[in-house]
Amino acid sequence: MKKIVTLFIFTFSAGILLAQKDGLKKISIFNNQISVELPASFRDAEYIGTDHWMMVNKNEMVRIMYQAVTSESALKISDNDIPDWTDKQLSIIKKDSLSSYIDDGIFLQDGKNIGFIKTSRKQKKGPDSFHLLFYISVDDKLLQFHFTCPLNSRKKWESIADAIANSLRIKV
């Protein structure tokens, strides 16, 4: 519980700072069922589709990507399945020799579970990176968001990434 309260306070504060510094823009995705707020400096990347998109900041070193797992063979993931999904993803991540675990958890947003996992990853080429994976279930479909930035920029971007995850809303 302390972790959730701390995360909320941290993301709320980060959201205020972000709004003052860079400005936010709200975007709608997944057939306008989901909204999320991103820094105004982010722009669309080269490929965008109905079940995925990517946005990057000005220098393209910071990215956020969304992907809906919607194929016919995809597992149905309900809101109640988010804790088990988190455990499965953690198991995979912890076996990856290039990834280092930082944090994970589940927080409640408008009555929906939003899971998250934070890692750092060694890169074979280029700078090591910080990753925030966060995800939610909508209509028994898993929506995954991947935020990535250079590891040496983590202090600057982690609170902003948390604020992005905290801004996730399902339109009813």
Fold of 2-170: Protein Transport Mog1p; Chain A (3.40.1000)
Q: Is the pTM of this model over 0.85?
A: no
pLDDT in tens, 99-124: 999 999 999 988 999 999 999 999 88
Residue 12: count of CB within 10 angstroms of its CB: 13
pLDDT in tens, 116-170: 999 999 988 888 999 999 999 988 889 999 999 999 999 999 999 999 999 999 8
| Domain residue spans of the chain | 2-170
pLDDT in tens, 42-69: 887 765 555 666 777 877 689 888 887 7
